[in-house]
Structure 1
């Protein structure tokens, strides 16, 4: 039985409330690491709106989902794979395979580092999130995550438990000249995912346990009107909790992407803790797309939050909405649990809510037409990458975070 405090820290409304509370402290000049320059938010909204118009002139913006990376360079790799090898399967079977792929791919997406890239057979080289996405798709197509050589386009517990750093490194073309940040952590995360699948047959099924079993669980939970987005996140957080590295444990439960900040929720419950669940929320956005295309409407998508990662957070730093009180921190590689990183991520979540409203005004769209998942895609993530490339060779983030391959 999940405790009340752990359940609280898994709710998206808690993420939002605690991040906005830290933003209010920033407005009062009461945060230790960052200063807020709210007068620069309108210019940031202009920059994001301009980026959206460049990328999506018709404003037909998809969700910020893993599926965008599989189509890097305008090549529909998933569509080609499905057409070649999944002909005749019904919509539910295809959705299960898409969820299989999406779960492992999202979990493998944490920052690759500046020196890694993936080369496709035609010579196309892709780095960062696009490279990781395409590499994971090739590994999935080759059957790396399946225990059944006759059913390679599947992910199952036994297949995941057999993944080694060496096998994953070979699939991702890792070598001395092509180093991938957090390779051991990524492989361990996949093995732990396999164990997590076995622990939750109600979510993942049992013959065999596989991420795609979530489709049947979520379909059963849907009403005729559809499925609330927070129900997707709840299933993801419950099912994947055992897979995350043990960082902070509360009442025997591994909290995952939850971190300490001395000024967060001092009166409790669970005082001093700020939840983010970045990969789980991005996975939820990605699964929402699968469910909708399988005929299950997803409701109240904006109950989920913006994603506290280095593109969205970097946008705010690079455009001067935030500034470091101690500029020397920008010259250090900071661990992900450093209070400055926790503060940065929390301010990113809260400011994305404000930025989204300003962007909608500039584009003449309301929240129904431009939910946060589309603002991110069009959007703040793309704008963060754009400004980073303009300011720094290689387009790296303005703050360096030591990643273990499971957060950024």
Structure 2
């Protein structure tokens, strides 16, 4: 299946970066409707991130910002324990199982809300991203995503397509006293994922169609030196396009995490459209880690962008790099398509590139040893959470978001 040129353009990470950089230039000219930029505060933000990195990774051995960090929440190596049940599988099939888990877990990761917790058998309680990750891993271990009781530790289209609110809610321990934001939206994502896998046997195979078959598709895309990270993102966006709730379509194709703003590329092509692909890029970082550990080099990881989500974005608001023109917007819930949220996300992506340069300077490292994916992990995401908990008792973001469980 070949995408229309405008659709293909909006799926490229360089388009995300270029269009977000335009918003930063407008902010530098004080020409954005909702945000003012205070560039003199960026150096202080970089120092805060550097301090966070040194606290979290004193030896500066920083991994990628990927889903695999969350599976080890509380210093428990849950994947290794689960991997023992898969002993005897070859390197390729083990990677497919990891991709199976990673895809469903990332798609289930959008904001959980402040009140939800997942409790493990030993009593450990986890919320937000870590809780969602661990809940999805336990669901995977219990065969929630497999249609074959004889082979529970996999993900396949049949199980996803028949996912129910009751089954996912039970796996995530949802109840009146433990509400999970966007549960219905997550179930729709799982069902849509099942349909997407079935629709693209060229990417996800058949009998059964599985997310893990993406490994074979990417192996076919790789050159002798390795696989460009941008190719991972393109494959994810092409294969998973039907997964997203239909927000904006172009040439008959669902664009996913792409939004309208009058200041986005007014000259075209695809004028007025601003792509972020937050979850898809985070999934691409997560898959890059699997591929590299399976002996498949991933090239040009920094071609992917920073992630337009509320931890990174909150960092810039909480440390004063960004300021709302109308402070009242911070007191009311805002929909994902509100122009203030779109501007905030665009500025976040662009500022993360500048922040990464300053953090590398502070640490005496170059882009090869500290790519953006490690700056995010070390890093800006952790620093955004840290400052949020310092400023607000619930550790929530500085802007209140109306989430459907499919973006953040």
Q: TM-score range by the shorter chain?
A: over 0.9
SS at match of 2:401: strand
Aligned residue in 2 for 1:50: 51
SS at match of 2:126: strand
Alignment map for 1:229-378 (pairs within 5 Å): 229-378=229-378
* Cα shift at 1:224: 2.3
Q: Deviations over 1:248-296 (max 9, x none)?
A: 0111110000001111111101111100000000000000000000000
Alignment map for 1:5-404 (pairs within 5 Å): 5-83=6-84, 85-404=85-404
SS at match of 2:211: coil
* Cα shift at 1:219: 1.4
Q: Deviations over 1:343-367 (max 9, x none)?
A: 0000000000000000000000000
Cα distance in 2 for residues equivalent to 1:219 and 1:266 = 38
Q: Deviations over 1:341-393 (max 9, x none)?
A: 00000000000000000000000000000000000000000000000000000
* Cα shift at 1:220: 1.9
Structure 2 gap ranges (5+): none
Structure 1 gap ranges (5+): none
Q: Deviations over 1:102-142 (max 9, x none)?
A: 00000000000001000000000000000000000000000
Cα distance in 2 for residues equivalent to 1:160 and 1:296 = 28
SS at match of 1:274: strand
Moved over 4 A (4+): none
Cα distance in 2 for residues equivalent to 1:159 and 1:392 = 40
Q: Deviations over 1:54-83 (max 9, x none)?
A: 000000000000000000011000011102
Cα distance in 2 for residues equivalent to 1:282 and 1:62 = 13
Cα distance in 1 for residues equivalent to 2:300 and 2:246 = 31
What is the number of equivalent residue pairs in this alignment?
407
* Cα shift at 1:214: 0.3
* Cα shift at 1:2: 1.1
Cα distance in 1 for residues equivalent to 2:366 and 2:35 = 31
Cα distance in 2 for residues equivalent to 1:30 and 1:213 = 46
SS at match of 1:394: coil
Cα distance in 2 for residues equivalent to 1:45 and 1:111 = 25
SS at match of 1:212: helix
TM-score, L = length of structure 1? 0.99
Cα distance in 1 for residues equivalent to 2:310 and 2:224 = 38
Aligned residue in 2 for 1:405: 405
* Cα shift at 1:231: 0.4
